[in-house]
Amino acid sequence: MTRFTHPGYACLKTLLVLAAAAILLTSCAALPRRALPEKYEDMAQVDGLQSVRTWADEFNPAFQHTLVESVKQRQAYYESRGLPWPTADPLNFLAISGGGDYGAYGAGVLFGWTQAGDRPEFDLVTGVSTGSLIAPFAFLGPKYDDQLRKVYTTIDAKKVFILKRIFQIIGGDSIADTKPLAELAAKYIDAKMLKAIAAEHDKGRRLFIATTNLDAQRSMIWDMGRIAKAGRLDLFREVLLASSSIPAVFPPQYIEVKAAGHKYDEMHVDGGVVTQVFLYGPFIDPTSAAAAQGANFHDREKNMYIIMNNKVAGTYDPVKRKLADIAGTAVSSLIRNQGIGALDRLYLLANRDGFDYNLTFIPDSFVPATTKIFDPGVMNTLFDLGRERSLAGAAWQDHPPGFTP
């Protein structure tokens, strides 16, 4: 079977059997929740944190204001050090995709990039799914490389999830319990890291994470720097876990919001349900935000870096006449093509806005030694592969697959 897939594919047969059994055995009953009514869909806010998130598919004036504010902060940061403004320094954006255990590749790319000596500081970092877990480390820079390496080279499946018993699955909201992943996040995403992210936010840098609001079936973007500034470690971790929660396999995160004076919850799951990777889109306009502060981005070198924690080409492999294999291959193909579409959109965005496009992905020649998920051997191999490609200067290409430069 192919491995250009979401992390859950390797165990998809077992998961499909468990899910099918649960569907057949369960009644129409559902776990209780305080779901946000549809009429409040665009009004709901996290209590005490207004406009800390936005829909990814529409322009948001509040988020645009945040971007204008970031330019002001960057200006103040430069001027406080006696440096000229507008600056001529390159503008560097980094987008990190989903990919589950294959996120070890992206971790290796960043680690090797530091060792090569030419890794830039990123003005904007975004993450989806496993990319959301990598993003805070990437945002804070090389001093967090060792922690990132440990996360992606010393864990196994038991440190990520525990499969529930069949009677726990029936009538529940997931097949697995991600308590181990929550404990892992708590170990590394701590108050010290939150304070460091808040400090970088004050310098005008931005960290965005995508989740999928499953109630609305739309992508939602979270301003993680503002969450860090507010000292909301609980919410910061909750968003990261939500972005990594494969629907039905891992439990959703029920994020509490307030609307019309009442408290409700929103169901948030893996950001990869809607997009495998993102940078910016309809929700903000970086060029006009910079122009509002007299910072002409058109005259600056601009670099867009995309780490795709997956392979992008399919592998011909006749599918067995079995439900799990047919469903698994179909889902795998859907995810792969969704990812390619996202890479194409970013390429068009880069050309429109004058960015140099730089993409790295797992080479098609890579073949995992096992189909087990979160296998330490596979993850270490991928980490070393990403590191070696960065060191050799062979990690990046200037166009998405299928495009002729």
Please identify every residue annotated as catalytic: 129, 270
Name the 3-class secondary structure at 285.
coil
Q: Which amino acid is at 186?
A: A
Q: Is the distance from CB of 124 to CB of 205 less than 8 angstroms?
A: yes
H-helix or E-strand containing 35?
none
CA 36 to chain centre: 25
The conformation of residue 355, written as its DSSP 8-state character, comes to P
Whole-number Å distance between alpha carbons of 364 and 387: 17
Whole-number Å distance between alpha carbons of 212 and 220: 6
Q: Closest Cα partner for 276 from 102, 30, 86, 49? A: 102
DSSP string, 109-123: HHHHHHHHT-PPPPS
Name the 3-class secondary structure at 164.
coil
Whole-number Å distance between alpha carbons of 80 and 294: 18
Q: Is the distance from CB of 113 to CB of 195 less than 8 angstroms?
A: no
Gyration radius of the chain over CA positions? 21
Q: What residues form DSSP beta bridges with 253? A: 268
Structure tokens at 131: 């990319």
